[in-house]
Amino acid sequence: MGQDPRAVFQQLAMQKDLVENNLQVLQQQIERIQVLLNDYDSGLSFLKEVMKKEKDEQVLMNVGGNIFIEVKIVNPQKVTRAIGSEISIEQKTQAAHDSIESSIKNLRNQERKIREEYQKYLGYQAQLENQLQQIAAMLQQGE
């Protein structure tokens, strides 16, 4: 004897809810990675400009909110990077550049993997939705 269609429907509906929650979590992770990528891309772009400058040259630095200030490059060979909560290191400009590029590459790989997982969950969600519709139609015919 098979399972009660109503019980199967409830199980599938709970699975669908879990899948939708997972999709939301994955979407939030993708959005956080995109914020980080934008931040790193912006920093890398500015760092590339600094690398082209000479000591005592002036540049416009974006401080956020489309606000720029004019700054003088004191030492284009070194930068200070934040590496954690209230932790900064002084680093050669090229090393900082390479580190940022590596971080960007790692973030893009993470984003790609999360997007692949997201797509799998979308497929599973569609399967569950199809099964739910079939059971709902069967239940309506039985009434």
List, for residues 75-129, the tens digit of each pLDDT value.
889 999 888 888 999 999 999 999 999 999 999 999 999 999 999 999 999 999 9
Tell me how far apart the alpha carbons of residues 71 and 59 are, in angstroms, rounded to a whole number: 5
Which one, of 34, 45, 35, lies nearest residue 97 by Cα?
45
Of 2 and 35, the one with more pLDDT = 35
Maximal CA-CA distance, the chain? 84
In whole angstroms, how far apart are CA 70 and each of 14, 53, 57?
57, 14, 10
Which one, of 103, 121, 130, lies nearest residue 27 by Cα?
121
Range of the domain at 63: 5-142
CB atoms within 10 A of CB 126: 11
Q: Please name every residue paired with 84 in a beta bridge, in sequence order, or none if there are none.
A: 87
pLDDT tens digits for 16-74? 999 999 999 999 999 999 999 999 998 899 889 888 888 888 888 878 788 999 989 98
Domain count, the chain: 1
CATH of the domain at 54: 1.10.287.370
